Structures are given as C-alpha cells and as structure tokens.
C-alpha cells in the first residue's frame, strides 16, 4: 500500500507539475510558447558553465577512491563509529555519500544485496542513503553555475548536515531495529 | 576550506596509489573522471533547458512571486538579506519542495534558478553571500518525505517491508535540517556581532 503510494507520487509528480505550470500560464494569458523559448535559452549556458567545477571535483573524488585512500580513511574512522553502535561495513558508504551520488548508491545497493534488505546493515544503509546528500556535487554545481569560487561557510554547514544526518540515522536505527 | 579538501583528495590519492603500486591507475583515472565530469554536464543540458523554460512560464504567470509572498515570515528569519517578495525566495521554495518530494532531476534546475536570483543580490560576485550559504545548507540537509530510489532498491532486493525505512529517514533528515538551520543562525549572528566579513574564506 505504502509502496504503491510512493510509486504513484514519483510517477505522477513531474507530469502534474508541467500540466499545472502550463495551465496556470494559459489562464494568466502568458504567451506560453514564447516564454518557454525565452527561458530555455539559459539552460545551455548554465550547464556549460559548470564543466570546470565538475571536472575538478570528479577527478579528485575518483582518484581518492581508486587509489585505496578511501579504505584507509574508513579504517581510521572505524573506532569512532563503533562507539556509536554502527557496524564497520557501512563506513565506505558514510565517507562516499557526500562526495558522489552514483557511487554511494552503488555502495548502498551492494550492502543491501549482500546482507539482505531486512538485516540491520541493510536497513541502516537504506536510512543513510536517504538521509544525507551529495554535498560536494550540490556545492560544485550550484556555485559553479553562477561562477562563485569562494564558498565560505557553505562547506562546513554542508558537511555538518551530512555528519548530523549520519549520526541521526545510526541513532534511530539502533533504537528501532535492534 | 574547499582548497584544502581538494588538495587532500588529490595528493592523498596519488600518494596512496604510489604506495599500493597502483600508480598507472592514476593517469587512467584522471582522464576517465575528467570525461565523466563533462558527460554529466552534457546530460544536464537537456534537463536544464526544459526546466528553465517551464520556470519562465511559471514566472510570467506570477507563480514564483506568489510563492515568495506566501513564505514571507520564514524569509525574514532565514534570509534577512533577501528583500521580501523577491523572486529568489520563490525559486528557493520550489527547489526545497522538489527535494522534499524526492524529485532529484527537477530540484537541480530550480536550485540553479535560485542561485541566479541570489547572485543578483550578491555584492561580491566571486564570493558566496550569506543567503547562498543558508540556501545550500537548507538544500543539503533538507528533510525527505519520499526516499523513492532507495525504497525501489529494497523492493528489488526482496525486502519483506521495503518502506519501514521511510519514518527513520524522515526523522534523520528532520534532525539534520533543524541542526544545520540552528548552526547557520548562530553563525550569522556571530558574523553580525562586529566581526568583519573575512573575504579569504
């Protein structure tokens, strides 16, 4: 039942949104086609402007992971997480989550498949995946699109958002599923 | 800060690769990842063009200003630098709503529109403004009501109760959103208390 509702929402929301935007435009006598073309022109420049930022970030993240530095960092952090009742297996996911969305989803899927979706690790990995964000992707793309190079406290706030999401996930999973 | 993290990732990666005897992987990874970065941007072009067009229709219809007016009380607390009813607020609200509903691919164009609007109010074009930092903090910590992707993965893996993780996810994201908003408010009042804006950050 809940699954069906979730599926329905994710299937319907985009078409409904577009329908609503255009209907509203029509009712308010906006020349919808001309307005669309006028706005759409910006899309290309915005996407192109992001390229240097994204290449810088992708190269750094990929080399960090492929070299094995990620595993070393995971081992170094293990004692801290064990203190909070998190299994060591989820560490690579915890570190990868703010850096790269697609690799984090890959890691989470692997954990869920290996340990089973209804195991403690599977549930924790699911909650973690849903409750933290790819902070570096967001920072890179959002600031890149308007040419900002000095990020100020946005980096710290973003990382603290991930960290607090991570610890909140561990805490709630320990309470509900153990 | 971002300089240090970037240096750490690349120098650390190369050093570890050298110790592990994987040094030839580094060269390969550099070129591969650079291509991936460009490919992601190219994939974004279609999406951005479509949604920027739709957003212009919504803007001309007055929807973005209407949204900005609706959330005025929140604007005053979270974004004191944005004039009330500024279109930036409308775009921010649309981005946050898309995040809450788990509409990842609509959220990014809405967010970039919000950044453009915020940039118009920014006195230093190469430095993030306070409002931008607040917006990105909200965006990355945002509460999620429908974690559709991960529920899908769980269903595919044969879970007997795929949606049991929805409530804990709402709790964890709600907590981190509250925590980060508090931190941001504290940080801003600290900046205001006489400390000049340090542009080096």
Residue B54 and residue A18: Cβ atoms within 8 Å? yes
The more confidently predicted of residues B200 and A10 is A10
> For B46-60, how does the pLDDT look when each residue is reduced to its tens digit (9 = 90+)?
888 998 899 999 999
Mean residue pLDDT of chain A comes to 89
ipTM: 0.86
- Residues of chain B with Cβ-Cβ distance to A3 below 8 Å are 151, 155, 162-163
Q: How far is B131 from chain A (nearest CA, A)?
A: 10
With cut-offs at 50, 70 and 90, classify the pLDDT of residue A1.
low
> For B142-188, how does the pLDDT look when each residue is reduced to its tens digit (9 = 90+)?
888 878 788 888 988 999 988 889 999 999 999 999 999 999 999 88
Q: What is the per-residue pLDDT for A106?
A: 87
Q: What mean pLDDT comes out for the span B27-46?
A: 89
Q: How far is A17 from chain B (nearest CA, A)?
A: 10
Check: CB of residue B148 under 8 Å from CB of residue A10: yes
Q: Which of B140, B129, B116 is nearest to B188 (CA)?
A: B129
Residue B112 and residue A3: Cβ atoms within 8 Å? no
Q: What mean pLDDT comes out for the span B67-75?
A: 85
3-state per-residue secondary structure call for A138-168: HHHHHHHHCCCCECCCHHHHHHHHHHHHHHH
> For A5-16, how does the pLDDT look when each residue is reduced to its tens digit (9 = 90+)?
777 777 788 888
- Residues of chain A with Cβ-Cβ distance to B163 below 8 Å are 2-3, 6
For chain A, give the percent of residues with pLDDT over 90. 49
Residue B108 and residue A141: Cβ atoms within 8 Å? yes
What are the extents of the domains in chain A? 45-177
d(CA A3, CA A147): 41
H helices of B61-121, in order, are 63-70, 72-78, 87-100, 104-120
Sign of the CA dihedral with B124 first, then B141, A164, and A50 last? negative
With cut-offs at 50, 70 and 90, classify the pLDDT of residue A71.
confident
d(CA B161, CA A140): 36
State the residue for tokens 């790269």: A100
Residue B136 and residue A55: Cβ atoms within 8 Å? no
Q: How far is B73 from chain A (nearest CA, A)?
A: 23
State the residue for tokens 């970037």: B6
Q: What is the CA radius of gyration of chain B?
A: 20
Q: What is the per-residue pLDDT for B201?
A: 47
């Amino acid at each position: 039942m809940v699954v069906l509702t979730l599926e329905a929402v994710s299937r319907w929301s985009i078409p409904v949104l577009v329908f609503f935007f255009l209907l509203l435009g029509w009712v308010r006598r906006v020349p919808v086609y001309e307005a669309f073309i006028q706005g759409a022109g910006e899309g290309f420049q915005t996407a192109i402007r992001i390229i240097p930022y994204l290449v810088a970030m992708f190269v750094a993240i990929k080399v960090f992971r492929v070299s094995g530095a990620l595993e070393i960092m995971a081992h170094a952090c293990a004692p801290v997480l064990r203190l909070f009742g998190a299994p060591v297996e989820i560490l690579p996911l915890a570190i990868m989550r703010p850096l790269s969305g697609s690799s984090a989803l890959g890691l989470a899927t692997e954990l869920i498949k290996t340990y089973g979706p209804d195991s403690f690790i599977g549930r924790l990995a699911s909650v973690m995946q849903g409750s933290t964000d790819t902070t570096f992707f967001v920072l890179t793309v959002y600031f890149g699109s308007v040419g900002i190079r000095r990020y100020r406290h946005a980096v710290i706030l973003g990382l603290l958002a991930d960290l607090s999401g991570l610890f909140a996930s561990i805490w709630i999973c320990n309470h509900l599923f153990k | 800060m971002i300089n240090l993290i970037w240096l750490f990732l690349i120098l650390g990666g190369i050093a570890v690769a050298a110790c592990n005897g994987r040094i030839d992987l580094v060269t390969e990874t550099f070129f591969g990842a650079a291509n991936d970065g460009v490919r992601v941007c190219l994939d974004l072009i279609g999406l951005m063009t479509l949604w920027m067009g739709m957003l212009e229709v919504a803007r001309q219809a007055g929807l973005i200003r209407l949204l900005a007016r609706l959330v005025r009380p929140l604007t005053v607390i979270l974004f004191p630098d944005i004039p009330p009813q500024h279109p930036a607020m409308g775009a921010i609200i649309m981005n946050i709503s898309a995040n809450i509903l788990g509409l990842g691919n609509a959220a990014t164009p809405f967010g970039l529109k919000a950044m453009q609007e915020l940039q118009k109010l920014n006195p230093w074009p190469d430095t993030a403004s306070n409002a931008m930092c607040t917006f990105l903090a909200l965006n990355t910590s945002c509460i999620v009501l429908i974690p559709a992707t991960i529920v899908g993965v769980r269903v595919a893996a044969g879970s007997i109760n795929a949606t049991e993780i929805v409530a804990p996810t709402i709790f964890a994201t709600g907590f981190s959103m509250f925590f980060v908003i508090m931190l941001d408010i504290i940080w801003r009042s600290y900046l205001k208390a006489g400390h000049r804006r340090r542009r080096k950050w």
